[in-house]
Chains A and B, each alone.
Chain A
Amino acid sequence: MKFILNTGRSITQGRHVEHKFHRGYSEETSTCFIHPLDLLDLDMEEGEHVEVTSECGSVVLRTVNCEDLRRGMIFVPMGPFANHIIPSHTHSTGMPDFKSIPVELEYTDAERSTQWDLMEKIGGQRYEKM
């Protein structure tokens, strides 16, 4: 099913800004908030995983019901998971479209990556001495 991806601050994400190696940061930023009726249309239950695919890649997220959203929109707290699928073009303004990315959602039984897994996939090196 097609959705619009919206990203932004959440209080839990904000609390972990300087503690990004914590599990809480990974948990929060890999959450896909979705309207309960949309979840029903996907034939899924809250807590199950979705593969979210945009024009530039896909990422696995955990679903959480959220009636704050209109149907057809998902919200993912800003972080490495959302940015894994956000295109970099800025329409000559310097600013990517962080709040309106067309995406496709599909049920998956795959596990979520951790924040460090994502970084390693693109050439990074995890730091886990803390």
Chain B
Amino acid sequence: MKKCDVICPFCGCLCDDLEITVEDNRILGVDNGCTLANAKFMGKERLTSPIRRTDGGWEDINYDEAIRYTVDMLLDADRPLLYGWSGTHGEAQCIGVHMCELVGGIIDSTTSVCHGPSILAIQEVGHPGCTLGQVKNRADVVIYWGCNPLEAHPRHMSRYTTYADGYFLDNAFRDRTVVVVDVRETETARVADEFVRIKQGGDYAVLSALRAIVRGKGDMIPPSVAGVPRSQLERIVRMCKDAKFGAVFFGLGLTMTKGKYKNIRNAIELVDELSRHTKFTITPMRGHWNVYGSNEVFTWMTGYPYAIDFCRGIAFYNPGETSAIDILARKECDACMIIGSDPGAHFPRKCVEHLADIPTVVIDPVPTMTTAMANVQIPVAVSGIDAEGTAYRMDGVPFRVKKVIEPTLPSDTEVLGDMFARMKEAKGL
């Protein structure tokens, strides 16, 4: 049986046109998906039971024991960290916020190691964004800055930019100009109309130069800025000013490099300058499936998008202090629950070392690098495959994600809901 219009649960594109072949509650094939989607849907190496670390090995335990361990761990901790949340749906994120408030802990999502700096910049100067549908149908100039969609968001260019038809473009492939700005000449750079190669850490200077040229101050610009000739910068500004609708997409090449959120602020202000001449928008290339949803859920529940600390009894937000990397590097938390992410693989070693020193529970369908640092791992159904819920696309559009097979394991919502009920009971609430 073929299930149509299935939403992919891998990256922030949330492609909603997948066709999944299912027989006897097993996925046999994926059509329209990229290689990342195929690997996600066809993966067969899930845990089937909770596991607990023993001396030199692992043992299977039941859900009741695993949930009891987690509840006791969170209630006993002075400063628990509840981290991850990007791989799960909004309903589970909601319960996570309630749990965190109850135990006076810190809740943070993978935002703090992807587009956290983008949010800091947006809080300073706003976000002139739009939906991906607007880009697909209108944009005649697209700039990818510090990102490599062909490898990180493989269908972004075919669904929304380079290879997509546009309602208001006669011949979208010919009429659309794609510019890539990067320190590496990636696959994406090779298919672009114009590649701007900048020196590592030169983003802020190049953005400032572009703003100066847009403002008519190009004569102040030296012949080369961070390795980019002035003539190329001038050509790009002409291209942008002549555009009917321009769209900037930026990735971790801007957020993780020198300057961090100031790079994003400068990029937003460039878009602001260009919008005095034509229509321009800017969108972060959110990587981890529902990471945008974690920001939405956390914001409407606590007032803050990530790195929220409840130790004062109220929500407190100060990235750099209350963000997961800093909390772990300072060895500040004394217990950690991780859901829908893999800090064992993606956090600096010093942070991962601390996870081995404290009680750690992982809620994840498959063994990850974080499994190695955990005391207990609880497998769950995968959102978008055998669990359903709400997820947000990188442009902030929410989708109801359905399941394609019947679950054999509980969902994140069920596991967290059970934990929260037991925690309330223990607190007499």
Contacts and interface: CB of A to CB of B under 8 A. Distances in A.
Is the pairing of A and B real?
yes
Interface of A: 4, 6, 8-11, 14-21, 29, 56-57, 67-70, 73, 75, 78-80, 83-100, 115-116, 119-120, 122-127, 129-130
Contact of A88 (B184, B186, B350, B357): B350
Given A78-B345, A87-B348, A130-B367, 7 more contacts: A18-B45, A18-B365, A86-B348, A86-B349, A88-B329, A119-B369, A123-B357
Contact of B256 (A97, A120, A124): A97
Nearest to B371: A127
A9 B367 contact: no
Given A15-B39, A93-B120, A130 B45 contact: yes
Contacts of A127: 51, 58, 367, 371-372
Interface of B: 10, 35-36, 39-40, 43, 45, 51, 53, 56-58, 112-113, 116-117, 120, 148, 150-152, 154, 183-186, 189, 197, 199-201, 252-253, 255-258, 260-261, 287, 307, 319-321, 323-326, 328-329, 342, 344-353, 356-357, 365-369, 371-373
B199 A70 contact: yes
Contact of A19 (B10, B45, B328, B372): B45
A67 B349 CA distance: 29
A29 B369 CA distance: 12
B106 to A, nearest CB: 12
Contacts of A56: 348-350
A88 B373 contact: no
Contact of B197 (A70, A75, A91, A126): A70
A73 B200 contact: yes
B325 A96 contact: yes
Contact of B183 (A6, A11, A20): A6
Given A14-B152, A100-B258, A94 B325 contact: yes
A78 B351 CA distance: 16
Q: Which 3 A-B pairs have the closest CB atoms?
A: A94-B323, A123-B356, A124-B372
Nearest to B343: A83
A125 B372 CA distance: 5
A33 to B, nearest CB: 9
A9 B373 contact: no
Q: Which of A4, A96, A120 has the most CB of B within 10 A?
A: A96
A122 B344 CA distance: 11
